[in-house]
């Protein structure tokens, strides 16, 4: 059994962590942690630190200066009620929401929990990598801001000290003529893990690709999402055309991605579907920029 600590404030939570780490595990929505504890996949901690009393401090979506900030305890449902689901520059957030678990899960699951879970199935990691996001963490000793791509080390392995909490995810506010897409492909439509998961961020200047960022699940031998920087470099500053998208998907992507076989499917099929996902993701983002609809 474990004790449950319900902090009065963020400072109280950090004090508790500082005194009791590493025997404390934060719990947000519990949709990942409680399953792992029930199935004895991780050791039972002495305490769970309940983050729900901190919602008045840590649940928000806002723009400050040129930065979009999402509080760690913001649930996916809360996220869906903000500008992130209305503005075409963030369209990939709507795609991700539509493909995420079930409706019940979306009410409890939080952004901070999705990032800290750090698996290839952490869909918001894939999406937020394409937005070049960083993670803000805090402890009694102070704050650190770490690029998301460095924060996730390996499956269930993140750069977070036992006395630290994730408090915020932030990323640059995209310019006009920008949109994104998130594609999760599996054999069925609902409650899927995703044979291939990919996110594209596309920013156009006329028909020139001003900026592009692409992230997929399990790009290399690690079971975590990562960026496809070779494909991005190939596409950036070129005129957007079907030919260039074809070349990026069929030639550059296979050279920069090491797909693996597992229980779900073969590496070959995964690679083929990754090519299709990249083409569709880029074309969908471009259509969204031009038509202004998600």
Tell whether residue 294 is a contact of ligand FAD (CB under 6 A). Answer: no
Tell whether residue 95 is a contact of ligand FAD (CB under 6 A). Answer: no
Contact in structure between 45 and 5 (CB atoms under 8 Å): no
Tell whether residue 228 is a contact of ligand FAD (CB under 6 A). Answer: no
Q: Which is nearer to ligand FAD, 110 or 285 (CB)?
A: 110
Q: Which of 14, 128, 165, 196 binds ligand FAD (CB under 6 A)?
A: 165
Q: Which residue is nearest to ligand FAD (CB)?
A: 113
Tell whether residue 4 is a contact of ligand FAD (CB under 6 A). Answer: no
Sheet order of strands, 208-216 included: 178-185, 196-205, 208-216, 226-227
Question: Which region among 63-71, 97-105, 168-176, 281-289 touches ligand FAD (by CB under 6 A)?
Answer: 97-105
Tell whether residue 277 is a contact of ligand FAD (CB under 6 A). Answer: no
Q: Which of 13, 14, 17, 27 binds ligand FAD (CB under 6 A)?
A: 27
Question: Which region among 15-23, 98-106, 206-214, 250-258 touches ligand FAD (by CB under 6 A)?
Answer: 98-106
Distance separating alpha carbons of residues 193 and 172, to the nearest angstrom: 29
Tell whether residue 140 is a contact of ligand FAD (CB under 6 A). Answer: no
Instruction: Give the 3-state DSSP-derived string for 80-121, with helices as H, strands as E and coil as C.
Output: HCCHHHCCHHHHHHHHHHHHCCCHHHHHHCEHHHHHHHCCCC
Question: Which region among 19-27, 223-231, 246-254, 281-289 touches ligand FAD (by CB under 6 A)?
Answer: 19-27
Distance separating alpha carbons of residues 16 and 5, to the nearest angstrom: 8
Q: Which is nearer to ligand FAD, 25 or 270 (CB)?
A: 25
Tell whether residue 28 is a contact of ligand FAD (CB under 6 A). Answer: yes
Q: Which of 4, 35, 63, 153 binds ligand FAD (CB under 6 A)?
A: 35
Distance separating alpha carbons of residues 106 and 123, to the nearest angstrom: 12
Distance separating alpha carbons of residues 211 and 213, to the nearest angstrom: 7
Name the site residues for ligand FAD (rule: CB under 6 A): 25-33, 35, 51, 72, 100-101, 105, 108-110, 112-114, 116-117, 121-123, 165-166
């Amino acid at each position: 059994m474990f004790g449950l600590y319900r902090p009065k404030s963020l400072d109280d939570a950090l004090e508790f962590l500082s005194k009791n780490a590493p025997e404390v595990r934060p719990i947000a929505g519990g949709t990942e942690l409680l399953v792992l504890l029930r199935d004895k996949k991780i050791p039972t901690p002495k305490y769970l630190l309940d983050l729900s009393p901190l919602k008045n401090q840590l649940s928000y979506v806002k723009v400050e200066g040129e930065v979009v900030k999402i509080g760690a305890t913001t649930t996916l449902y809360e996220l869906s009620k903000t500008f992130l689901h209305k503005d075409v520059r963030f369209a990939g957030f709507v795609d991700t929401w539509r493909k995420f678990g079930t409706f019940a899960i979306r009410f409890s699951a939080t952004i901070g929990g999705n990032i800290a879970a750090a698996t290839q199935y952490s869909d918001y990691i894939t999406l937020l990598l394409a937005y070049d996001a960083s993670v803000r963490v805090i402890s009694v000793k102070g704050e650190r801001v770490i690029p998301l791509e460095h924060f996730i080390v390996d499956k269930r392995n993140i750069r977070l000290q036992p006395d630290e909490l994730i408090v915020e995810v932030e990323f640059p506010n995209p310019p006009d003529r920008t949109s994104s897409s998130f594609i999760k492909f599996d054999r069925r439509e609902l409650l899927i893990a995703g044979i291939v998961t990919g996110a594209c961020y596309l920013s156009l200047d006329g028909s020139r690709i001003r900026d592009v960022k692409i992230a997929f699940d399990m790009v290399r031998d690690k079971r975590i999402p990562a960026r496809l920087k070779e494909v991005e470099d190939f596409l950036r500053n070129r005129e957007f055309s079907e030919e260039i998208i074809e070349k990026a998907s069929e030639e550059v992507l296979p050279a920069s991605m090491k797909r693996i076989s597992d229980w779900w499917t073969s590496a070959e099929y995964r690679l083929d579907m990754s090519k299709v996902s990249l083409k569709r993701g880029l074309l969908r983002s471009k259509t969204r920029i031009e038509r202004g609809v998600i």
